[in-house]
Structure 1
Amino acid sequence: MYDLLSDLSIVEVSSFVASPTVGLYCAQMGAEVIRVDQIGGGLDYDRYMQTAEGRSLAWENLNRAKKSVALDLRSAEGRELAVELARATGQLVTNLPEKSFLSHAAVSEGRPDMISLRVMGWHDGRQAMDFTVNAASGYPLMTGPEDWDVATAPPVNQVLPAWDFITGAYCAFALMAAVHLRSRTGEGAEVRVPLGDVAIGTVANSGAMAEMLYRGGDRPRLGNAIWGALGRDFTSRDGKRFMVAVLTPKQWTAMVDALGIAQPVAALETKTGAEFAKSDHNRFVHRDALFAIVQGAAGQRDYADLAQALTRAGATFERYRTMHEASTDPELVGDNPLFGPSPANPSGFAYPAARSFANLPAREAADPRPAPYLGQHSEEVLSQRLGLGSGQIGDLIDRGVVDTSDQTGLRKRP
């Protein structure tokens, strides 16, 4: 947590991953992020995995350091409160459709400097999710063992909803760009970011689109090998699997020295007429022969010995871990300043919580803050942002338009 955005307030009406990530990243940099949800929880309030008490660990982590307002968004009065709240605050992040009650036209009425950022599916308005845009991107049909039959091989979906998180990060940047523009010109902005465009645009930015068009076909599957360079998973004598990546002359020299394979590599160079020290191309073309040399050396030594030698030489490598192993690893988590002490999470479960990924050495990062209980800040926000009195708020609560904290227990959705 840093205070760089402490003068910025954002209303967020979000669900699932991409849109809440925008608010999360802004909140970690100090912005006041007010999440507005349907009473009883929105579409993502009970997403897996849940604790025994029914608290979603995904929701808890995507909504750290935010405030929570619970409104009956199915009612006209609740929707109008959400619109008024967004308009009064001046910044809105949402993934509701443009033709919903939170259209830019509605929230910007009487507020020409209003900024709304909308996470969309496809640019033409069709629905999409990470899993479906990934299917369209081509990546699932590019991964898998290289000996799979091209015509019949199944796609390999990724477990991480990467497009959601990339979209969330890009949206946080786009939102800050719009805020910066307003600070110079006084102009508001409507910003739309389609998830599908982030995916296919990333394919283009990475050079993969140009590559496919240039080659006139698809890239072959390579298993765990790195495309265009030398790198793959290897196994030590004691059965530990680890990844080695070689993209520079320095990394090549370090790997060769650490594994003691200079002699067989020189013999391969003589046989092929290819020089490997300075050529990604040559290393990639002759990867199978080089992989055999590396695996031959790795298979004669235990991983602890290999790790020490590779580290000492300055090689780029890492051991494969299960995610549970990664979550309990001292180097990755326990001794990593990215993680702070567990705040008082709504779930009641204590575990390491991430600070901002950005590290500002000149500033001290505050400890992570917890996610709110649903509706925890309803009264505070409606009073401060809309100027409603306690009697007005009490009437809204009595009539079921507004709800307060669900700290005493999860409630069934109405």
Structure 2
Amino acid sequence: MQPSSNAPEERHGPLAGLRVVEVSAFVAAPLASMTLAQLGAEVIRIDPLGGSIDYHRWPETEHGESLYWASLNKGKRSVTLPLDTPEGQRAAADIICADGDGAGILITNLPARGWLDYEQLSARRPDLIMMRLLGNHDGSPAVDYSVNCASGFPHATGTGPEPVNHVLPSWDVAAGLYLTVGLLAAERRRQETGHGQEVTLALSDAMLATVGNLGYLADVQINGASREPGGNSLYGAFGRDFSTADARSVMVVAITTRQFRALGRATGLTEKLEMTGPLMDVDLTTEGGRYAARHAIAAVLEPWFAARTLAEVRAVFHGSGVLWGPYQTFRQLVEEDPRCSTQNPLFSWVDQPGIGILLAPGSPLVFSGDPTPAAAPAPRLGADTDTLHSPVPQPVSG
């Protein structure tokens, strides 16, 4: 299969005609704008000369090209300007406030002062939409790692009293997707009224909203309970990891009674599994009952998995209705999982400048009436500077 040649200038998809400018770094804001680009919006990322603070973030190639940066900036256009000079700042403001019905939209996680001040920019373009990511609601700084430690989840992760961080920047991801929803809501309001607005989102509020929406804040207030760590057991239902004969691990989940019965049929252990209910004096037709009996259920299942390889488990569970999945390293995900391949329409081959040919994901959203574009490579840093704005004179030293 040939790498995608879908140039960033050729916009297709449900958001074609929308023009978004991004002045940001790290995960949340770049993810938000890339999500829009993958749906057809024209996204222009503006960086200082030489790249922003995330331009060389790991992982990177042996030649120092950031795979992180390339992966979070797919399908965008890139402009570099001397943003520490008045000339560079004016040039950036020109791009942000450019004419056009779908233009005048900015995403940033930088301090909104000086040339990035909403009042200054909206004075030039009154219908400007500015999406601004904060750390905390009071404007104080925060990053995913400083937010996650306060969320309660590290104390509910692992098996003991010591908090355990996870490596997924979940609050950055959640905040990035919140930003896209907020932007589309503000753009719809602008279409209706002709008015723009500044929309702010605090990273810590994305965390707090999630903890509250999952019921954990209410659990403390109403029940006086704070969720304890349970290892790899699924909280409130049955689910756990099991080791196979070839030293692989699998996760098995049975949230509903139907799923629990499918697990019994597939393994041939229905009768033994049903015995755990009376043994533990619980009702196995309820999620709470299966959770209370989780250790007894696992004791019945452990020898079955230990006697079979991953391939044998896969063969037995195929088409059985059992919810399960293998634990995989990133390498195993790439090399073994057919979902991470061009068998899945999510992926296509792209020729990434400076790096090479990569299998890259596009948007995971599938529209029946307006197909989303294939994945496109990230631009070379500054590749669109001359096209989108006249070169800014560089300061003379000496």
Same fold (TM over 0.5): yes
Match of 1:305 in 2: 312
Amino acid at match of 1:325: Q
Match 1:144 to one of 155, 158, 166: 158
Task: Pick from 22, 39, 50 the counterpart of residue 40 of structure 1.
Answer: 50
The one-letter amino acid of 2:214's match is: S
Shift in Å at residue 265 of structure 1? Answer: 2.0
For residues 42 and 271 of structure 1, what CA distance do their matches in structure 2 show? 61
Q: CA deviation at 1:112?
A: 1.8
AA at the equivalent of 1:143: T
- Which structure 2 residues correspond to residues 66-145 of structure 1 after superposition, within 5 A? 66-88=76-98, 89-145=103-159
1:110-162 Cα deviation digits (max 9, x unpaired): 322110000110000110001110011111111111xx2x3xx2x21111111
Q: 2:327 matched to 1:320?
A: yes
CA 286–2 in structure 1, closer or farther in 2 if over 3 Å, else same:
farther
What is the CA–CA distance in structure 2 between the aligned matches of 1:311 and 1:51, rounded to whole Å?
A: 38
Contact 1:83 / 1:106 at 8 angstroms: preserved in 2? no
CA distance in 2, matches of 1:327, 1:269: 40
1:22 equivalenced with 2:32 (yes/no): yes
The answer to whether the 8 A contact 2:147-2:207 is kept is: yes
Segment drifting more, 21-30 vs 91-100: 91-100
Instruction: After superposing the two structures, state which structure 1 stretch, 366-375 or 116-125, moved more.
Output: 366-375
- Residue of structure 1 equivalent to 2:264: 256
Alignment of 1:9-408 (within 5 A): 9-88=19-98, 89-145=103-159, 148=160, 150=161, 153=162, 155-276=163-284, 278-334=285-341, 335-341=343-349, 343-382=350-389, 393=390, 396-397=392-393, 399-400=394-395
Give the corresponding residue for 2:4: none
Counterpart secondary structure, 2:355? coil
Deviation at 1:217, TM superposition (A): 3.8
**Helix, strand or coil for the counterpart of 2:35?**
helix
Deviation at 1:84, TM superposition (A): 2.3
Q: How far does the alpha carbon of each residue in 1:302-352 deviate from its partner, in whole angstroms, 9 at most, with x for none?
A: 3322222222321000011111110223412122211001x2212232220
Q: Name the CA distance, whole Å, in 2 between partners of 1:158 and 1:120.
A: 22
Give the match's secondary structure for 1:200.
helix
Report how far residue 6 of structure 1 moved: 1.0
**1:254 corresponds to which letter in structure 2?**
A
The alignment of Structure 1 onto Structure 2 pairs a total of residues equal to 381
Q: Indicate the SS of the match to 1:233.
A: strand
> Aligned AA for 1:253?
R
Secondary structure of the residue aligned to 2:176 is helix
Residue 390 of structure 1 corresponds to which residue in structure 2?
Answer: none
Question: How many angstroms apart in 2 are the aligned matches of 1:199 and 1:17?
Answer: 15
Counterpart of 1:196 in 2: which secondary structure?
A: helix
CA distance in 1, matches of 2:277, 2:148: 40
Q: Report the Cα offset of residue 380 of structure 1.
A: 1.0
Larger displacement relative to structure 2 (129-138 or 307-316): 307-316
SS at structure 2 position matched to 1:304? helix
Contact (CA 8 Å) 2:186, 2:196: kept in 1 or not? yes
Residues 12 and 373 of structure 2 are in contact (CA less than 8 Å); yes or no, is this contact kept in structure 1? Answer: yes
1:377 partner amino acid: D
- Residue by residue over 1:346-367, the C-alpha shift from the partner in whole angstroms, topping out at 9 and shown as x without a partner, is 2232220111110124444433
Larger mean CA deviation between 319-328 and 356-365 belongs to: 356-365
In 2 relative to 1, CA 158–285 (structure 1 residues): closer, same or farther, beyond 3 Å? same
Residues in 2 aligned to 1:286 and 1:2: alpha-carbon distance in whole angstroms = 52
Distance 2:114 2:339 in 1: 43
CA–CA separation in structure 1 for the residues paired with 2:125 and 2:278: 73
Amino acid at match of 1:130: D
Paired residue type of 2:179:
C
The TM-score normalised by the length of structure 2 is 0.92
Task: Give the conservation status (yes or no) of the 8 Å contact 1:2–1:28.
Answer: no
Distance 1:265 1:46, change over 3 A: same
CA contact (8 A) 2:75 2:379 kept: yes
Structure 1: segments with no counterpart, 5+ residues: 383-392, 402-414
The one-letter amino acid paired with 1:128 is A
What one-letter code is carried by the residue in structure 1 that aligns with 2:54?
A: D
> 1:225-252 deviations in whole A, cap 9, x for unaligned?
0100100100123322100011112211
Identity of aligned residues (%): 35
CA shift at 1:52, angstroms?
2.4
Normalised by the length of structure 1, the TM-score is 0.88
Alignment partner of 2:173: what SS? helix
Q: Which runs of 5+ in 2 are unaligned?
A: 1-10
Corresponding position of 1:7: 17
